[in-house]
Structure 1
Amino acid sequence: MKLRNINPLGAVDLPLVGRVLEPGEVFEVDDTLAGRAPSTSVDEDSGEEVHDLGSGLLAQVGNFEQAGAKDPLGPPVPTEEWSKAQLLEAATRRGIDVAPTAKKADIVAALTADATPAPEEDQ
């Protein structure tokens, strides 16, 4: 499974993969190590909420997310249809430094640029 480092501290040393992960870096791990994100569901019999704390790296909300997964704040690619608060939250979660006074178009541009893969260098 492919995951992305969204740790707000930036680069993080992850001994489980044997290296330092850069901010926003996508890396691959097996499904067991990736685990699952925390979730809440309703028990059909009792009607009570059941909280699953998750497991593995995906249980570390705010540190790792599944790469290519739909952003829970809106459509997969940020657009000006998102509220400014949603855009700022997405930028924060992805480790992108954006001023709270920035215009929505500028925040979308920063988020879109961050999602664009870097061009491959000729060797």
Structure 2
Amino acid sequence: MTQKLENKLEIWERKMLRRIFGGIKLQNEFRRTNKEIMELYGKPDIVQVVKAQRARWLGHIARMSNERWVKNTYERRRKNEKRTTEEEMVGRSDIRSEENRSEGLEEGCVRSKKMEKKSERTRSQGPVGL
């Protein structure tokens, strides 16, 4: 998490807590310091909670088997390795060709279910404006 995001979360949290706990009237103004608000709240701030939850999630990932896509994705990002576009295209074309064969379409012909539904809808409506 970036420092900028941490600051935004802390500001948002204090803003919500000020609304909940209200202020103390001092010389016609309602005021409460950040320290007073956090003492009243009595729980860790949101940034600490988010960091603890992320550490907990990493523990889950560490215990996963190597076949899980979540673990593979995390490890790839951690190593900063990305699949090449050629590998992605080969993977996608294999999937598409299997779908086309199962739907009885020619090789290289890709037609999504959304496109089919849309074309059926426009055919059933008939000519527009008559």
Higher-helix-fraction structure: 2
Shorter-chain TM-score bucket reads: under 0.3
The structure with the larger Rg is 2
Normalising by structure 1, what TM-score? 0.23
- Structure-2-length-normalised TM-score: 0.22
Greater RCO, CA 8 A, separation 6+: 1
